[in-house]
Amino acid sequence: MASSGIGVGLVGLGTIGTGVVRVFREHADEIEARLGFPLRLAHIADVDLETDRGVSLEGYRLSRDFKALVEDEAIDLVVELIGGTTIAAQVVTSALEAGKGVVTANKALLAHKGAEIYALAETHGAPVAFEASVGGTIPVLRALREGLCADRLFALRGIVNGTCNYILSSMESDGEPYEACLKRAQELGYAEADPTFDVDGTDSAHKLAILLGLAFGVHARPGDFYSRGIQLIAPADIRAARRMGLRIKLLASARRLDTGVEARVEPTLIPTGSVLAGVDGSMNAIEVRGKMSGPTLYYGAGAGSLPTASAVVADLMELARARRLGVALRVPPLGTHRLEPSGLLSSDQERGEYFVRLELGEEDRSRRVSVALAEHGVPLVSLESPPGEDLTLTTGETSRAALDSALALIGSAASASHVIRIEKEI
Ligand code: HSE
């Protein structure tokens, strides 16, 4: 342990790392008052130490190589904020093997290699904390792990990608094109280094995999459940949603059924007056339902430098307290000592109500679509076919497979079809 207080090493000086430096610089007094002892950022490692990030690095030991930081005896806790799953895995693994506590915001790493990392943490008696990996600043993982630990949870759903929510909100309120909204989300520091992970649903799937572990004690990887992003959402979908009194949100959801746990990430049409529909910009919200607790809602900034950094430093404080008390893993990382193997239900059995937009030639199109749906037993609730615009329709409750078969039948005539799930009971 560092001679006075507990020493923190930060690996990765990007958007969140810079935020962490600011939290330490600006809130050192509050942090010490709340802990009762000092928590010092002592060492920073990044391959680029030249770029001016608008924060002073004076007083910190600086290294280009994370190994020097992990080996530094003044460092008790290591923060991994470089992202990705290769070097980041080495940082986390080497720190745990050295018996140092680890804090990370790396949802991709945890979603893919969480099981190995938690096992390593247990073997070495070193804690790993990752509140900032889901929902940015929102203490939702802590709520699941501790606040709701006496309950049996049966459903959760949420908006867990700030970039997508920002894009959808801006397209809707300002009528801005998708590309311009994405560019602004990148400038504001919400997007991943490769924003494909945001918009194609991968980032939300990473976060849902982590939530599945905490909420249901299920060990799931992102490929175990259906996920889709927002790249195909067009202004025509947003106009149609408005006409129906609905809004489009990228939802991550999961439910515990008698037969297993069902999970998915996909753009979903939800009633305009619902709580989740009111979550705008880069904000995130996660609604959890428990047998005893009923519904609870967790809302806040889901992305961005300082909100996310605040969650990182809160984790450091938690680990520092435990270290001070000589306790390594006060609570297991996923809140349980008994994780079930994945056991997720297959998405082939998916049922629901759907909205469909079809780019289809004008001639006789309403009749062709109605016939194809009827042939596959898909109930048609509404159909609009304004001249010169895409045809849109909504279905009643149906199997997704039947709808896909009907669309395949129309497929040769349609240059593109786009399906969005409708959730009216939310
Ligand atoms: N790119 C992520 C998002 C950052 O937009 O939500 C926070 O995890």
- The pLDDT assigned to 416 comes to 60
Specify if 38 maps to a domain. yes
269 in the same domain as 218: yes
- The pLDDT assigned to 1 comes to 45
CA–centroid distance, 338 to ligand 1, in Å, is 29
The CATH code of the domain that includes 386 is 3.30.70.260
Q: Structure pTM?
A: 0.95
pLDDT digits (tens, 9 = 90+) for 256-268: 998 889 999 999 9
pLDDT of 348 above 90:
no
114 in the same domain as 80: yes
163 in the same domain as 279: yes
Tell me the C-alpha distance between 372 and 360, whole Å: 14
Specify if 205 maps to a domain. yes
Average predicted confidence (pLDDT) for the chain: 93
CA–centroid distance, 221 to ligand 1, in Å, is 18
The CATH code of the domain that includes 34 is 3.40.50.720
Structural domain boundaries, residue 354: 350-422
Specify if 343 maps to a domain. no
Tell me the C-alpha distance between 118 and 116, whole Å: 6
240 in the same domain as 121: no
pLDDT digits (tens, 9 = 90+) for 325-337: 998 878 899 999 8
Specify if 313 maps to a domain. yes
The CATH code of the domain that includes 145 is 3.30.360.10
Query: How many CA within 13 A on the CB side of residue 37?
Result: 17
Specify if 73 maps to a domain. yes
244 in the same domain as 149: yes
CA–centroid distance, 12 to ligand 1, in Å, is 16
Question: CB of 302 closer than 6 A to ligand 1?
Answer: yes
196 in the same domain as 163: yes
Amino acid 56 reads S
If one residue of 81, 104, 110, 198 were mutated to test the ligand 1 pocket, choosing by the most ligand atoms within 8 A of its CB, it would be 198
246 in the same domain as 191: yes
398 in the same domain as 258: no
What is the count of structural domains for the chain? 3
277-311 as b/e, with b when 16 or more CB fall inside 10 Å? bebbbbbbbbbbbbeeeeebebbbbbbbbbbbbbb
28 in the same domain as 127: yes
63 in the same domain as 18: yes
180 in the same domain as 126: no
Nearest CA to ligand 1 atom 4: 303
